Amino acid sequence: MNKELAKYYSAGHSACAGCGFPAIVRAVLGELKTDVVIANATGCLEVTSTLYPYSAWKAPYIHNAFENAAATISGVEKAYESLKKKGKIRKKIKFIAFGGDGGTYDIGLQSLSGALERGHNFLYVCYDNGGYMNTGNQRSSATPYGAFTETTPTGKESFGKIETRKNLMEIVNAHRIQYLAQANVAYLADLKKKAKKALETDGPSFLLVFSPCTNNWKFPTSQYVNVGKLATETNFWPLYEIENGEHKLNFEPKKITPVTEFLKTQGRFKHLFKEENKPHLEEIQKLVNEEFARIANLCE
Amino acid sequence: MRIARYECAHANNKFMNKKNKKLALTGGAAAAEALKQIEIDVMPIYPITPQTTIIETYAGFEANGEVETEMIKVESEHSAMSAAIGASSAGARTATATSSQGLALMHEVLYIASGFRLPIMMLVSARALASPINIHGDHSDVMGCRDSGWIQLFCENGQEVYDKTIIGMKLAEKVKLPIMVIMDGFNTSHSVENLEILETKVVQEFVGEFEAISPLLDTENPVTYGAVALQNSYFEFRIDQEEAMKSAEEEYEKIAKDFEKISGRKYDIFEEYRLEDAEKIMVLTGSAAGTAKVIVDKLRENGEKVGILKIGLFRPFPHKKIAESLKNAKEIIVLDRAQSIGTYPPFYSEITKSLYEAKEIKKIKSYVYGLGGRDIFQKQIEDVFAGKIEGGYIK
């Protein structure tokens, strides 16, 4: 494997073939100009990279619990500040926390909010695969409307998840941090550019990265880049950033692709293509259009 | 009355250093004073009554530039302990403080702190647990985490809180386990006592510099904290933790002995108060021990052979030494300030276990007192010694 790519996160981890987050982790860490300490919430990334006595991490790494990656990195960062002040440490170190959507949107939201409000010098990266995939595909507040999960199964009375996704970018933006961005693993150049900006920020920064899950979204492992691309081309997952309060759209599709093109690539939306679920497909298209218009409006 | 006894002991103390200060402090402020002298690098805090005397005093030190500590004013106790784990793993000497619901909220991560073998110092101003909600003192909160792998050290009064914070920090760093130094909520945390403060230089020499093992900030030598350990290795990690905890008993004794050399104050694993020929021994801890000592003195004047065994180190529990200390007693009276609903109260369970293992069959009574801050009076303790209140509750 390319040595530079595997500098901090080596080959040999046990993430699924076709999983989105290894590329996210490498793209973000690849933009580092200093040493780093990494915190990680419980989840797929943690479980597949730290099976004792092995570790995929070649940088200092701490996994504490599920809901506290942001609080944990707060402690690490303040330890650094303290020891630096006392002259016990001189080099520059950057602090990064990784969490899935369960550990970020749901159980870790308070911890993240606290750390953002306190203004620690760290980057939080949420890899969003829209559910609790490590425990076998249960719904989170990031699961899209209409998706099948094991806790929103389809049935006589159910078309999948009935609620829309929580808007985490809006929530994080409410903390008025200097830099936050929505990215997608299928757009690596864009992701890297955003990681660079986020890492250069003095204070908290945040990246929300689309991370397809082959296993629970139910698509062939070879398709994860395609699925990712379609999410952005259909405006289901717009790429944008907010820098010092200024919104900027990073990708505008030349022609609008209907969201069904994205949905039909995945087993979790298969039931929506039944005749009786047609209104739900229309609802999803409406939600996508409205959200994209809202963001585009802010970016003008 | 207990305070008067202390004054007297200090006046006769050959170790009494002229540079030592006498200060009137609450138990909470005494803890903060010790933390200041120890030089804590990072202190994540979240307020809860009655722990506030500790953190407010310390925030005052910060505001006046008296400490270099990075205080992190977090948004919950869960985050306080999580940040403490981060800071300690990073290589910083770390302390925090809590009570009651706060300690209960930390519960999940307490096990991670001990599993990581981090010497985090936590002052606990022990308080009742909801429901019904009650802000006053008892030991339900600390008893709720007695299996969490933390060293637990009880204090009777403000002087002990100050002293045991210093002893405890050194002990935690020696055996690489987190420690709770426990004071009674309000009774100790908010009561002002005149106590003796050592010279800062003496405290610092005693505790020494903190040298972290494999800290995260040593980026040249990266380590992974918090790995997944499955059927083939998890068990061994747990055994190691038990061994470390066991070693804390002996290490405590050594450290307390050294502390006596600098302070003149003696803190055995537990305190034997007038036990030399005692036939009736009361076992208890915390501020109520001070009240009980007054009664013991009174009963002794009447010729009654009574004494007190005051629990200090509760985790690890010194079963053998306690059984040895109790072996000549004809009757043992155990006072718990917590229940263990559905079974016997915590101290009573430990004491009966100690005696059973030592093959000692004794008359032993169990009482629960002081729940939710209910006062315990001298008269009640006297009645318990006289057998006027049969086992159960001292209400």
Q: Could you tell me the CA-to-CA distances from A55 to A14, A21, A149, B290 in Å, in that order?
A: 10, 16, 30, 52
Of B76, B108, B228, the CB nearest to A51: B228
Contacts of B217 in chain A (CB under 8 A): 37, 60, 76, 79-80, 83, 89, 93
Contacts of B85 in chain A (CB under 8 A): 62, 64, 72, 75
Closest CA to B156 of B36, B252, B32, B284: B284
pLDDT tens digits, chain B, 395 residues: what are they?
Answer: 344 344 434 444 555 566 788 999 999 999 999 999 999 999 999 999 999 999 999 999 999 999 999 999 999 999 999 999 999 999 999 999 999 999 999 999 999 999 999 999 999 999 999 999 999 999 999 999 999 999 999 999 999 999 999 999 999 999 999 999 999 999 999 999 999 999 999 999 999 999 999 999 999 999 999 999 999 999 999 999 999 999 999 999 999 999 999 999 999 999 999 999 999 999 999 999 999 999 999 999 999 999 999 999 999 999 999 999 999 999 999 999 999 999 999 999 999 999 999 999 999 999 999 999 999 999 999 999 999 998 699 99
Contacts of B89 in chain A (CB under 8 A): 62, 75-76
Per-residue confidence (pLDDT) for residue B13, from 0 to 100: 52
Q: Rounded to 5 degrees, what angle do the CA atoms B33, B180, B135 make?
A: 85
Beta bridge partners of B195: B23
Closest CA to A105 of A152, A164, A25, A169: A169
Task: Calculate how close chain A gets to B216, using CA atoms only, in Å.
Answer: 5
Q: Dihedral through CA B281, CA B282, CA B284, CA B290, nearest 10?
A: -100
Q: Rounded to 5 degrees, what angle do the CA atoms B347, B34, B92 make?
A: 95
Q: Is A275 exposed, middle or buried (0-12, 13-18, 19+ CB in 10 A)?
A: exposed
Q: Could you tell me the CA-to-CA distances from B187 to A160, A182, B158, B288 in Å, in that order?
A: 56, 53, 10, 9
Task: Calculate how close chain A gets to B6, using CA atoms only, in Å.
Answer: 38
- Which residue is closest to A43 within chain B, CA to CA? B228
Contacts of B75 in chain A (CB under 8 A): 110-111, 113-114, 117
> Residue type for B253, please?
E
Chain A interface test: which of B67, B96, B225 (most A C-beta within 10 Å): B225
In the 3-class helix/strand/coil scheme, how is A49-75 assigned residue by residue? CCECCCCCECCCEEECCCCCHHHHHHH
Task: Calculate how close chain A gets to B52, using CA atoms only, in Å.
Answer: 20
Dist. CA B300–CA B10, nearest whole Å: 23
Instruction: Spell out the residues 6+ positions from residue A86 whose beta carbon is closer than 8 angstroms to its own.
Output: B41, B68
pLDDT band at A3 (very low <50, low <70, confident <90, very high): confident
Contacts of B225 in chain A (CB under 8 A): 61-64
> Given an 8 Å threshold on Cβ–Cβ distance, is A111 in contact with B216?
no
pLDDT band at A2 (very low <50, low <70, confident <90, very high): confident
Describe chain B by its helix, strand, coil percentages, rounded to 5.
45, 20, 35
Beta bridge partners of B126: B184
Which phi and psi (to 5°) does residue B50 adopt?
Answer: -100, 40
- What is the average per-residue pLDDT within A233-240? 98
Task: Calculate how close chain B gets to A114, using CA atoms only, in Å.
Answer: 6
- What's the distance, Cα to Cα, between the start and end of chain B in Å? 23
> Given an 8 Å threshold on Cβ–Cβ distance, is B82 in contact with A71?
yes
Per-residue confidence (pLDDT) for residue B6, from 0 to 100: 41
Query: Measured in whole angstroms, how far is the alpha carbon of residue B159 from the centre of its chain?
Result: 12
> Given an 8 Å threshold on Cβ–Cβ distance, is A60 in contact with B218?
yes
Contacts of A57 in chain B (CB under 8 A): 222, 224
Contacts of B46 in chain A (CB under 8 A): none
CB A195, CB A188: distance < 8 Å: no
User: What are the tens digits of pLDDT across the range A247-286?
Assistant: 999 999 999 899 999 999 999 999 999 999 999 999 999 9
Task: Calculate how close chain B gets to A82, using CA atoms only, in Å.
Answer: 6
Task: Calculate how close chain A gets to B135, using CA atoms only, in Å.
Answer: 25
Per-residue confidence (pLDDT) for residue B11, from 0 to 100: 42
Beta bridge partners of B394: B369
- What is the average per-residue pLDDT within A98-117? 98
> Given an 8 Å threshold on Cβ–Cβ distance, is B226 in contact with A50?
yes
Of A61, A63, A79, the CB nearest to B87: A79
> Given an 8 Å threshold on Cβ–Cβ distance, is B108 in contact with A65?
yes
Dist. CA A166–CA A140, nearest whole Å: 9
User: What are the tens digits of pLDDT across the range A68-87?
Assistant: 999 999 999 999 999 999 99
Dist. CA B201–CA B54, nearest whole Å: 22
Dist. CA B329–CA B305, nearest whole Å: 10
Q: What is the DSSP letter of B195?
A: E
Dist. CA B251–CA B214, nearest whole Å: 22
Per-residue confidence (pLDDT) for residue B3, from 0 to 100: 40
pLDDT of A242 > 50? The answer is yes
> Given an 8 Å threshold on Cβ–Cβ distance, is B86 in contact with A64?
yes
Contacts of A39 in chain B (CB under 8 A): 86
> Given an 8 Å threshold on Cβ–Cβ distance, is A62 in contact with B89?
yes
Contacts of B229 in chain A (CB under 8 A): 52
pLDDT band at A181 (very low <50, low <70, confident <90, very high): very high
Dist. CA B42–CA B69, nearest whole Å: 5
Contacts of A55 in chain B (CB under 8 A): 224, 227
In the 3-class helix/strand/coil scheme, how is chain A assigned residue by residue? CCCCCCCCECCCCCCCCCCCHHHHHHHHHCCCCCEEEEEECCCHHHHCCCECCCCCECCCEEECCCCCHHHHHHHHHHHHHHHHHCCCCCCCEEEEEEEEHHHHHHCCHHHHHHHHHHCCCCEEEEEECCCECCCCCECCCCCCCCCCECCECEECCEECCCCCCCCHHHHHHCCCCCEEEEEECCCHHHHHHHHHHHHHCCCCEEEEEECCCHHHHCCCHHHHHHHHHHHHHCCCCCCEEEECCEEEECCCCCCCCCCHHHHCCCHHHHHHHCHHHHHHHHHHHHHHHHHHHHHHHHHC
Chain B interface test: which of A9, A78, A80 (most B C-beta within 10 Å): A78
Q: Could you tell me the CA-to-CA distances from B199 to A227, B12, B20 in Å, in that order?
A: 67, 19, 6
Query: Measured in whole angstroms, how far is the alpha carbon of residue A246 from the centre of its chain?
Result: 21
CB B76, CB B46: distance < 8 Å: yes
